[in-house]
Amino acid sequence: MRKWLFINNLGIYLGSLILPSLTAIYTILISLGLIIGGIWVGSNVNLLPVVASSNAPIYDELFKVLFIIGTLLFFGMLGLVVYSLIQFRRKPGQTGDGLAIEDNLPLEIFWTAVPAIVILFVGLYSYDIYERMGGMESLGANNQHHHQMASKQRIWGGIGSKDKSMQGANGTLIPVEVTAMQFAFLFHYPDGDIISGELHVPIGQPVTMKMESKDVIHAFWVPEFRLKQDVIPGQPTILNFTPTRVGKYPIICAELCGPYHGGMRSTVVVEELEDYQNWFAKNAKKPDLEV
């Protein structure tokens, strides 16, 4: 009798050791599956438009990291909800309330520490991406043209204000003055005194734009360039970029600016240098000849 009692108690004891171990193993395997699946989805599922500027790959790095984190959170929370619905559903004949659990200190520490670490990581990484795109740099010699034209104005640097690729094939920048108004963009090329409703730029050549608004807040947004910069009345803003892909891409106002905000669009035409030079020569104003 004592022998069987000992064996029974031993079985209960071993079972109490094995069950938590199995639970821990299942938890680790599921967590690894979520991490591997999230990384695979974030690395292989591309939801962004084509890359058409030198800044785009930098931004895409941040998007992939955020997409991986979002995928992990989505499937992790979905799995917990489904598990809870099945495991803790009301059983047949069960009429009482559930367990009156007031607190769980380890769990509270976990769900406070992990989100804090994730948010801190995302914040620091976003700052690094913003700095690499030039958002934290002060205006330098690359924007000397705009400083001379508006020496009494305070000019703000935007995204790409210090692009590392701002030395083009011929070592020059293409200056463009952008005016935003309800409900259109106007592009002025001071070197040729050209005013255009489209932005024409050559591939591989750095472009520096001084942007101003004549009325309300607008935004210059080209999804393929991964650039979006607010255009604010009375506050000129510099935006630099280098196009890397030939094509036509939409310019969209991304700030609600009035009843026809949805129609405030234009086009940026990225073309070969020879085609751009032909367009520039065709539209540039000829100097008046002295009589």
Q: pLDDT tens track of the chain, all 291 residues? A: 554 444 455 455 444 544 556 777 877 888 788 888 888 887 788 889 999 999 899 999 999 999 998 888 888 888 888 888 888 888 887 777 777 777 788 888 988 998 999 999 999 999 998 888 877 665 444 445 444 444 445 555 556 545 444 554 455 789 999 999 999 999 999 988 999 999 999 999 999 999 999 999 999 999 999 999 999 998 888 999 999 999 999 999 999 999 999 999 999 999 999 999 999 999 988 765 454
pTM exceeds 0.85, yes or no: no
| Cα 225 to the center of its chain, rounded Å | 11
Report helix, strand or coil for 235. strand
Closest by CA position to 133, among listed 52, 207, 55: 55
- The DSSP code for 217 is -
What CATH class is the domain 46-86+106-286? mainly beta
In the chain, where the domains are located: 46-86+106-286
**Amino acid 10: pLDDT:** 44
Determine the residue type at 169.
A
Paired tokens of 145: 């043209």
As a whole number of angstroms, the longest Cα–Cα distance in the chain is 128
**Amino acid 149: pLDDT:** 47
Closest by CA position to 114, among listed 163, 63, 76, 154: 76
The sign of the dihedral angle between the CA atoms of 118, 122, 128, 129 is: positive
DSSP string, 116-139: HHHHHHHHHHHHHHHHHTTTTPPP
At residue 172, φ and ψ (nearest 5 deg) are: -120, 160
| Cα 102 to the center of its chain, rounded Å | 40
**Amino acid 154: pLDDT:** 54
